[in-house]
Amino acid sequence: MNMNMNMNSDSNKNEIIKKLRDEAIKAHHHSYSPYSNAKVGSALITDKGNIYSGCNVENGSYGATVCAERIAIFKAVSCGERKISKIYVYTKDGWPPCGMCRQVIREFATDDTEVIIGNEQGEETIYTVSQIYPLSFGPSHLGI
């Protein structure tokens, strides 16, 4: 589901984070995780104000598993989006994105893009991409 939200005022910031949390929680209920039993949901908002969500989808081969964050990002990119403004990651215990997801987030974000990590208790921590992925390799290294 794509939704459009206005990100022009700071007063909308908390509302946007709440919406991302709601969408990430909804997505985590769809998690296909029979091997780990770890349900993950993610939701992001793009620079165009559209919201995309995803859940982790595991595979019996293990290596073909795709994390919730990458599914949300790939859904956005496949709809023509190229820039993440904020991304929310929800798990019961507030797990941070894995290294592979950090690299994919970096591809479509800036150093200042917010990565919000939330848990079942409602606790949230807001990081920037540069905080969770310092000295990252990104498109600028290849001249993009």
56 contacts: CB under 8 Å, gap ≥ 6: 31, 32, 33, 38, 39, 40, 65, 66, 67, 68, 71
What is the DSSP code (8-state) at residue 44? Answer: E
Q: Is 95 in the site for Zn ion (CB under 5 A)?
A: no
Q: Which of 27, 101, 105, 109 binds Zn ion (CB under 5 A)?
A: 101
- Strand-pair category, 84-91 with 114-118: parallel
Indicate the residue among 34 and 143 with the shorter CB distance to Zn ion. 34
Rounded to the nearest angstrom, the gap between the alpha carbon of residue 128 and the centroid of all alpha carbons in its chain is 12
- Distance in Å, CB of 69 to Zn ion, minimum: 6
By CB under 5 A, the residues from 39 to 58 that bind Zn ion are none
Q: Is 67 in the site for Zn ion (CB under 5 A)?
A: yes
Q: Is 71 in the site for Zn ion (CB under 5 A)?
A: no
Q: Is 79 in the site for Zn ion (CB under 5 A)?
A: no
Active-site annotation holder among 58, 69, 81, 114: 69
Q: Is 98 in the site for Zn ion (CB under 5 A)?
A: yes
- Distance in Å, CB of 115 to Zn ion, minimum: 12
69 an active-site residue? yes
CA torsion 77-79-81-85 (nearest 10°) is -90
Residues that bind Zn ion (CB under 5 A): 67, 98, 101
